């Protein structure tokens, strides 16, 4: 039943996409299309990219149908219309595939990486497919001669590019970002800014007399777009760029503004260059601001966690020491030898925990500042694992985790002993922490190309959505209240393993446990 409902939703989404594609394509083709087909205003490219990326590539028939109908209506023969539509569909499929698979694109456009990927992979590369297929089809169909190939290609490419730079970001941001906080002052500022941006765009672009004038220059728009990006982030950037595009295209089409040239196609070519630069500038500024504020939030969160994490064992440690000192000062008997030993052991545990936390913090600064070179010597990984298990014996006993160790083949190599100690301690420590009450399996395998270390637990496991990010700095997939920790252990382990030319990976299922695998080449 749910499957059927999903299918209907997909069919509906495909039909809506084809209608949106068709309507916006018709609008674009009204704009003095070069050779009747290559228009400089082509919003459907952006709509198709956003739909395939946000909903799924399975919606591609919507692009094909919309493009086919639009080209048939524009007077193309069936084979030519079909070939052009296939080009348009390939463009959307390639764009969404490249962005998702190759660039790990996030449609919220909060990282400069996402903006650059959209420009390079979407706007510049994927659009070249449709322009090439389109121009070749028109040539083969006899609609254009060789002399028209380049102007047609250029118009096609630019039009599609602008769709990806102005229309797609608007849809990405509106659909994938959480709504802005509705503070009264911000709403008033947004209204004032929109009015100002619209007013200035009209002043600059709808200047019918084409008198020019001091303030009637296109660059007047830039400070306003920057204001929008600085204060309203991605929302400001995409809506600002869209508003300016809509007003300037309409004005230029009516023969007004600074970009008017001999023909509408030529005017639009100049205007689109300006719009592409504006959109890219606004999107990049907004992403840079978002990156900075994320860094500040991460730093503040880290400071909060660090002070909490460091204070808890320190307070407990002080209490213990004070208790022991008090009994000594009162000259009371220290109690049974066993009791005294027990107290000292727990004091030692706390001190070790503190030392580990401080060690992690020191390691972060070393890694961040690039002062991190493995100091290689001959190491037997089996002996190293035995030592780690001995070091963590108490912790493993308390967590009630029996450990099974299996060694197969020779597991020697040239590695940094101290650093590998850290990796093994981290993985076994995490297995005990997140897999308490269940066994832990440690497997070592010597192969020709290197050594494999596997640490498997049967604990809480990690949700698939979190599996990649737990290897990043400060990233955690558990609540602070449930489990202590900085979220640094796996990041440090990954950095150490990578510095040895190896890799670390994870297989996990929530509730069933996790297996961390480290592959280490025997030497550099
Ligand atoms: P910490 O344990 O200090 O939070 P780590 O970098 O060692 O930091 O681990 C990052 C996150 O990965 C943890 O917060 C936890 O959510 C998850 N994690 C690590 N190891 C395991 C494991 N063996 N089982 C389940 N979750 C784990």
Substitution site in 310, 439, 470, 472 for ligand 1 pocket (most atoms within 8 Å of beta carbon): 470
Distance CA 88, CA 440 (A): 53
Output the CA 507–ligand 1 centroid distance in Å.
13
Q: What Å distances lie between residue 287 and 107, 221, 238, 257, 295, CA to CA?
A: 12, 19, 11, 30, 12
Q: What is the pLDDT of residue 141?
A: 87
pLDDT at 497: 94
The residue whose C-alpha atom lies closest to atom 16 belonging to ligand 1 is 477
- Our answer on whether the CB atom of 487 is closer than 6 Å to any ligand 1 atom is yes
Q: What atom of ligand 1 comes closest to residue 475's alpha carbon?
A: 10
**pTM to 2 decimals?**
0.69
Distance separating alpha carbons of residues 362 and 500, to the nearest angstrom:
20
User: Which ligand 1 atom is nearest residue 488's CA?
Assistant: 6
Give per-residue pLDDT as tens, 164-180: 999 999 999 999 887 77
- The residues that bridge with 121 in the sheet, in sequence order, are none
Does ligand 1 have an atom closer than 6 angstroms to the CB of 493? no
SS3 450: strand
Q: Is 434 in the pocket of ligand 1 (CB under 6 A)?
A: yes
Rounded to the nearest whole angstrom, what is the distance from the C-alpha of residue 356 to the centroid of ligand 1?
15
What pLDDT does residue 274 have?
Answer: 94
Which residue of 360, 434, 472 sits with most ligand 1 atoms within 8 Å of its CB, as the best mutation to test the pocket?
Answer: 434
What single-letter DSSP state applies at residue 180? P
- Tell how strand 403-408 and strand 440-446 pair up: parallel
The reported pLDDT for the residue numbered 195 is: 96
133 lines ligand 1 (CB under 6 A): no
Shortest-distance Cα residue to atom 1 of ligand 1: 487
Residue of 353, 403, 423, 462 with the most ligand 1 atoms within 8 Å of its CB, for mutation = 462
Q: Are 65 and 132 in contact (CB under 8 A)?
A: no
Could you give the CA distance from residue 280 to residue 266 in angstroms, rounded to a whole number?
A: 22
Using DSSP's 3-state secondary structure scheme, residue 446 falls into strand
User: What's the pLDDT score for residue 331?
Assistant: 63
Spans of the chain, pLDDT less than 70:
35, 208-215, 328, 330-337, 369-371, 524
Ligand 1 atom at minimal distance to the Cα of residue 460 = 25
Ligand 1 atom with the shortest distance to the CA of 492 = 6
Tell how far the Cα of 490 is from the centroid of ligand 1, in angstroms: 7
pLDDT score for 302:
73
Residue with CA nearest ligand 1 atom 19: 430
Gap from CA of 426 to ligand 1 centroid (Å): 9
Gyration radius of the chain over CA positions: 31
The reply to whether ligand 1 has any atom less than 6 angstroms from the CB of 457 is: yes
* Ligand 1: residue whose CA is nearest its atom 17: 477
- Tell me, what's the pLDDT at 332? 60
Beta bridge partners of 519: 452, 503
pLDDT at 211: 61
> Closest Cα to atom 20, ligand 1: which residue?
430
- At residue 183, the pLDDT reads 79
Ligand 1: which atom is nearest the Cα of residue 485?
Answer: 3
* Residue 467 CB-half CA count within 13 A: 17
Q: Decide: 488 in ligand 1 pocket, CB within 6 A.
A: yes
Task: Report the separation in Å between the CA atom of 349 and the middle of ligand 1, taken as the mean of its atom positions.
Answer: 20
> Which of 395, 422, 430, 431 should be mutated for ligand 1, with most atoms under 8 A from CB?
430
Q: Assess whether the C-beta atom of 430 lies below 6 angstroms from ligand 1.
A: yes
Buried b or exposed e, range 242-263, using 16+ CB within 10 angstroms = bbbbebbbbbbbeebbbbbeee
Is the CB of 305 inside a 6 Å radius of any atom of ligand 1? no
Distance from residue 294's CA to the centre of ligand 1 (Å): 22
Q: Which two tokens stand for residue 451?
A: 């050594």
Residue pointed to by tokens 């390639």: 94
Measure 430 CA to ligand 1 centroid, in angstroms.
Answer: 6
CA-nearest residue for atom 11, ligand 1, is: 476
Cβ(163) – ligand 1 distance below 6 Å: no
Distance from residue 422's CA to the centre of ligand 1 (Å): 15
For 38, phi then psi, to 5°, come to -90, 100
């Amino acid at each position: 039943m749910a499957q059927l409902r999903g299918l209907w939703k997909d069919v509906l989404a495909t039909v809506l996409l084809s209608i949106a594609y068709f309507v916006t394509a018709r609008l674009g083709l009204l704009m003095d299309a070069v050779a009747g087909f290559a228009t400089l205003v082509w919003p459907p490219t952006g709509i198709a990219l956003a739909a395939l990326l946000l909903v799924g590539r399975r919606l591609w028939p919507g692009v094909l149908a919309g493009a086919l109908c639009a080209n048939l209506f524009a007077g193309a023969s069936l084979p030519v219309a079909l070939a052009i539509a296939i080009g348009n569909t390939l463009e959307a499929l390639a764009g969404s595939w490249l962005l998702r698979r190759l660039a790990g694109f996030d449609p919220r456009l909060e990282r400069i990486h996402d903006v650059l990927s959209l420009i390079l992979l979407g706007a510049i590369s994927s659009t070249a497919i449709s322009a090439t297929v389109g121009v070749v089809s028109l040539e083969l169909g006899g609609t254009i001669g060789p002399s028209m190939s380049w102007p047609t290609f250029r118009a096609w490419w630019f039009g599609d590019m602008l769709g990806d730079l102005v229309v797609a970001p608007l849809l990405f941001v509106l659909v994938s970002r959480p709504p802005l906080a509705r503070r009264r002052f911000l709403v008033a500022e947004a209204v004032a800014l929109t009015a100002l941006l619209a007013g200035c765009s009209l002043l600059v672009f709808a200047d019918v007399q084409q008198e020019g004038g001091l303030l009637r220059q296109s660059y007047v728009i830039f400070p306003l777009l920057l204001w929008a990006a600085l204060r309203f982030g991605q929302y400001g950037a995409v809506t600002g760029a869209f508003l300016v595009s809509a007003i300037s295209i309409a004005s230029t089409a009516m023969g007004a503004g600074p970009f008017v040239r001999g023909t509408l196609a030529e005017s639009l070519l100049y205007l689109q260059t300006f719009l592409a630069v504006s959109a890219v500038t606004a999107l990049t500024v907004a992403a840079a601001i978002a990156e900075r504020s994320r860094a500040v939030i991460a730093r503040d969160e880290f400071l909060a966690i660090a002070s909490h994490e460091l204070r808890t064992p320190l307070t407990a440690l002080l209490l213990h020491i004070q208790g022991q000192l008090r009994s000594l000062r009162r000259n009371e008997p220290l109690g049974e030898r066993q009791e005294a030993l027990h107290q000292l052991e727990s004091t030692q545990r706390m001190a070790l925990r503190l030392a580990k936390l401080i060690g992690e913090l020191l390691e972060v600064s070393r890694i961040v500042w690039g002062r991190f070179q493995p100091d290689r010597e001959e190491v037997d990984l089996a002996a190293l694992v035995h030592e780690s298990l001995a070091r963590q014996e108490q912790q493993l006993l308390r967590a009630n985790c029996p450990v099974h160790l299996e060694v197969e083949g020779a597991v020697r190599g040239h590695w940094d002993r101290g650093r590998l100690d850290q990796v093994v301690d981290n993985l076994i420590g995490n297995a005990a922490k997140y897999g308490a009450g269940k066994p832990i399996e440690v497997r070592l395998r010597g192969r020709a190309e290197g050594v494999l270390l596997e640490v498997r637990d049967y604990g809480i496991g990690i949700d698939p959505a979190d599996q990649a990010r737990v290897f990043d700095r400060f990233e955690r997939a558990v609540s602070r209240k449930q489990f202590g920790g900085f979220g640094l252990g796996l990041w440090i382990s990954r950095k150490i393993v990578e510095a040895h030319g190896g890799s670390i990976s994870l297989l996990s299922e929530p509730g069933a446990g996790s297996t961390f695998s480290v592959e280490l080449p025997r030497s550099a």
